[in-house]
Amino acid sequence: MGGGSGFFGLHIHEGASCSGESFSKTGNHYNPTGAPHPRHAGDLPPLLLCNGGAHMAVKTDRFRVEEIIGRTVVIHSGADDFKSQPSGNAGEKIACGVIRHR
């Protein structure tokens, strides 16, 4: 992601692993109700990179923390356009982490 700035798609995905080519094991956006994008439970606000760092806090009623433990969170190479189906045309998966309970 470098030291620049910009917006990046940020989503919780249904998968439980960051393995596979281009993080393929993350699967699709977490979407237990079958809602259209950008109303998936896993659709989060864009991540803003500024001078190489990013910080985010999100308040949502789309899921409970217990429901996403063990799933993956993914940063995409571009901004989510909030309209393209099925996932916002945010580009490649460039970073991944598994959500764990402390």
Give tens-digit pLDDT for 51-89: 888 878 889 999 999 999 999 999 999 999 999 998 899
Range 5-98 classified under CATH 3.40.980.10 = no
The gap between the terminal CA atoms of the chain, to the nearest Å, is 26
pLDDT band for 2, please (50, 70, 90 cuts): low
Domain coordinates in residue numbering, the chain: 5-98
Give the Cα separation of 69 and 66 in Å (integer): 6
- Better-predicted residue by pLDDT, 10 or 52: 10
> Could you please report the per-residue DSSP string of 86-100?
TT-----EEEEEE--
Indicate whether this model's pTM tops 0.95: no
Cβ–Cβ under 8 Å, residues 31 and 15? no
